[in-house]
Chain A
Amino acid sequence: MSIFETTSLRVAGVEVDGKTAKAISGRHNIIEMTQAAEDAVLRPRDSGAFGHNLRAALAARVARLAQDDVLASHYLARAGDKAALADPTETGAAQGLSAVLAFIDKVANQTRDIAAEDVSGLQAAGVEDADIVRLCELVAFLAYQTRLIAGLRLMQGAA
Chain B
Amino acid sequence: MARVIHKFTRNVPHWQPRLTPVKLAEATPEQLEALQVTPSNTKVSDYVLTLAHDVESLKVRSPLFNAIMYDAGGLSRSERELGALAASMVNRCIYCAAVHADRHAKIEKDTTTTDALFAAGEKADLNPRDRAIFDFARKSAEAPPTAGAADMEALRQVGLSDAEILDLILSAALFGWANRLMHVLGDPVRKTEDA
Contact = CB atoms under 8 A, between A and B. Distances in A.
Interface in B153-175: 153, 156, 161-163, 165-170, 172-174
B68 A147 contact: no
A101 interface: no
Given A136-B185, A150-B147, A154-B149, A26 B73 contact: yes
Would you call the interface of chain A mostly helix, strand, loop, or mixed?
helix
B162 A66 contact: no
A66 B143 contact: yes
B90 to A, nearest CB: 7
Q: Identify which of A40, A108, A143 gathers the most chain B CB atoms within 10 Å of its CB.
A: A143
A23 B145 contact: no
Interface string B99-121: 00000000000000000000000
A40 B60 contact: yes
Interface string B50-72: 11011011011101100110010
A67 B177 CA distance: 17
A27 B166 contact: yes
Contact of A26 (B74, B93, B179): B74
Given A26-B163, A133-B53, A133-B185, A112 B90 contact: yes
A20 B53 CA distance: 37
Contacts of A23: 161-163, 165-166
Contacts of A120: 18
Contacts of B166: 20, 23-24, 26-27, 151, 155
Given A129-B53, A150-B147, A158-B153, A140 B181 contact: yes
Interface in A21-37: 22-24, 26-27, 29-30, 33-34, 36-37
Contacts of A148: 169-170, 173
- Interface SS of B by simple majority: helix
Contact of B173 (A136, A151, A157): A151
A147 B53 contact: no
Contacts of B19: 119, 123, 129, 132-133
Interface in A50-99: 65-67
Given A37-B64, A148-B173, A136 B71 contact: no
Nearest to A130: B53
Contacts of B73: 26
Interface string A109-131: 11110101011100100000110
A33 B63 contact: yes
B174 to A, nearest CB: 6
Nearest to B22: A130
Contacts of B180: 107, 111, 136, 139-140, 143
A150 B63 CA distance: 23
Interface string B66-88: 01100101100000000000000
5 contacts: A65-B143, A140-B179, A140-B180, A154-B151, A155-B169
Given A129-B19, A151-B168, 12 more contacts: A20-B166, A40-B56, A111-B179, A116-B18, A132-B53, A133-B54, A134-B53, A134-B54, A137-B181, A140-B176, A141-B177, A158-B152
